[in-house]
Every structure is written in C-alpha cells, then in structure tokens.
Amino acid sequence: MGRVGDKSVVLTGGASGIGRAAARMLAAEGAAVVIGDVDEAAAGVAEEIRDAGGRATFVRTDVRSWDDVQHLVEAAVREHGGLDVIVNNVGVAIGGSAGEMSEEDWNRVLDVNLSGVWRGMRLAIPEMLKTGGGSIVNVSSVQSLVGFVGWSGYAASKGGINALTQQAAVEYAPQGIRVNAIIPGTILTGMNEGILKEHPDRDTLMSRWAAMHPIGRIGQPEEVATAIVYLASDESSFVTGMLLRVDGGMVVKAG
C-alpha cells in the first residue's frame, strides 16, 4: 500500500530538483500525484512515474495565476475524488540587496515564492475541509533563518512562508489540516546548478557551499523528498506548525 497509499496529492514545481524527487517518491509510496509546473519537463516526470507503475498526471500551472492553481486543484479532486495533500514547492531565485533590488524583481520573487504558496493553500484548504482534513507541506529555505548577502527578496519570501505556515497550522488544526514547512539547506537542484554554471569557479563555490554544512557536503533532492513524504503521511499525524530543517546542520553552525 505504501506510506501514502491512496492519498491524492498536488505538487507544484515537479519538473526538476526537490519537486521531481518528491513526486517520484510520493508515487512510489502509493500516492496519486498531480504535478503542476510551467516547465513542460514535468510532463515527462509524470510519464516516468506511470511507466514505473505509479499514478501521476501533469497540469501546466503558473502559480502566479489564480485560475491555473484552481485548475490544478480541481484536476486532483476530479481524477482522485478529493485532495489529501498539497506540496507547495515552486520557487525562483532572484538576487538583490535591499537597497538595490528592483521593484520588478521584488514583486516577482514574492509573487512566485510566497503568494504562489498562499494560492495553493487558499484553494486546497476548502477541498480538504470537505473530507475532514489533510496535510499541507510548504518548501521554504535556510535563507529564511540565516542571512546571505545579496538575497533580500528571496529571504523575505521564504520567511513569509514560515510565518504563513505557522499561522495556518494554528487556524486549521481543529479541522484536521496539518500545515508544515521544510527548510532545506543547500541542495543540488536545477536552481543551484544554474548558479554554479554562471560562477567562474564552480569547484571553489561547491567547496564553499559544502563547508557551510557541518555534515561537510551539500544535500541531494531525495534527502528533502524523504522529509516531504513523512509530513504528507499519517506517520506525522501529531506534527503541525513544524519548520523542519533538512540542512546538514547549516543553521546550527551559523547560529
């Protein structure tokens, strides 16, 4: 049956990185996964899951669009009879210090990273209430807890996710909806691969990133996916409002 057997799951940002790993792992553990992404590569992820015997579909989704997110949630309800879990994973990395970042970049990173999470929650919660509860898993970042030079908008968006997660956890616990957030450290995702590709000395930057983690390396998407599966499953039935760090000890070291 699997750890999330027969659960209906919506997951955003499933084309690569943490989202792809989580979609595969959730499906392998029995969930029916509806993947939303603007990247058509997510359709290939859904196909891979089906080829492996799992259940997955793709719905093109821009989390900045209310209608897109609504269609994504409706697809899960229509195809699987309800919605048990939503994993809000989409994020963009836009750099800029507080005194230099453009308003356009600020608005975009907040709209995708924070408002995109809120739209997912806002549209998922009414469906979960119809069936007596569910689990919401939001993907934040260590940059919500530790300062990094030149990433003010990104950090603000992720800090907002933490606050929204804890607020909603208190609001909806009586109705059986658990709301938690994952706080990844540096993970080898497509986003970080892009940063590495643009850096003049990839190896030096990789070494610098690894040294920030007491474990001595950066993380893999599957290590975050494992935590997502835990929070999606009934194994975490007494866990809500949690900011679960999967960061190789980065925050402890920085603190």
Tens-digit pLDDT profile for residues 85-99: 999 999 999 999 999
Is 8-188+221-248 assigned to CATH 3.40.1190.10? no
Contacts 24+ apart (CB under 8 A), 233-241: 233/3, 233/4, 233/7, 233/29, 233/135, 235/3, 236/135, 236/178, 236/180, 237/178, 239/178, 239/180, 240/169, 240/173, 240/178, 240/179, 240/180, 241/165, 241/166, 241/169, 241/170, 241/173, 241/179, 241/180
Tell me the mean pLDDT in the region 169-179. 98
Tell me the mean pLDDT in the region 163-185. 98
Tell me the mean pLDDT in the region 225-253. 96
| More confident: 189 or 79 | 79
Domain boundaries, the chain: 8-188+221-248
Q: What is the pLDDT of residue 195?
A: 72
Tell me the mean pLDDT in the region 36-42. 97
Quick one: pLDDT band at residue 188, thresholds 50, 70, 90? Answer: confident
Residue 199 has pLDDT above 80, yes or no: no
Quick one: pLDDT band at residue 204, thresholds 50, 70, 90? Answer: confident
How far is residue 90's CA from residue 161's CA, in Å, rounded to a whole number?
A: 12
Residue 206 has pLDDT above 80, yes or no: no
Q: What is the pLDDT of residue 179?
A: 99
DSSP summary character for residue 40: T
Residue 201 has pLDDT above 80, yes or no: no
* 39: nearest Cα among 24, 70, 60, 64: 60
Residue 140 has pLDDT above 90, yes or no: yes
Query: Beta strand 85-88 with 243-246: parallel, antiparallel or unpaired?
Result: unpaired
% of the chain surpassing 70 pLDDT: 98
The H-or-E segment that residue 26 falls in is helix 17-28
Quick one: pLDDT band at residue 110, thresholds 50, 70, 90? Answer: very high
Q: What is the pLDDT of residue 255?
A: 64
State yes or no: is 230 an active-site residue: no
Sign of the dihedral through C-alpha 28, 17, 178, 78: negative
Cα atoms in the Cβ-side hemisphere of radius 13 Å centred on 133:
15
* 246: nearest Cα among 228, 233, 234: 228
The catalytically annotated residue of 58, 151, 154, 172 is 154
For the entire predicted model, the pTM comes to 0.94
| More confident: 205 or 109 | 109
Alpha helices in 52-94 (DSSP H): 66-80
* 85: nearest Cα among 180, 17, 203: 180
Q: What is the pLDDT of residue 205?
A: 78
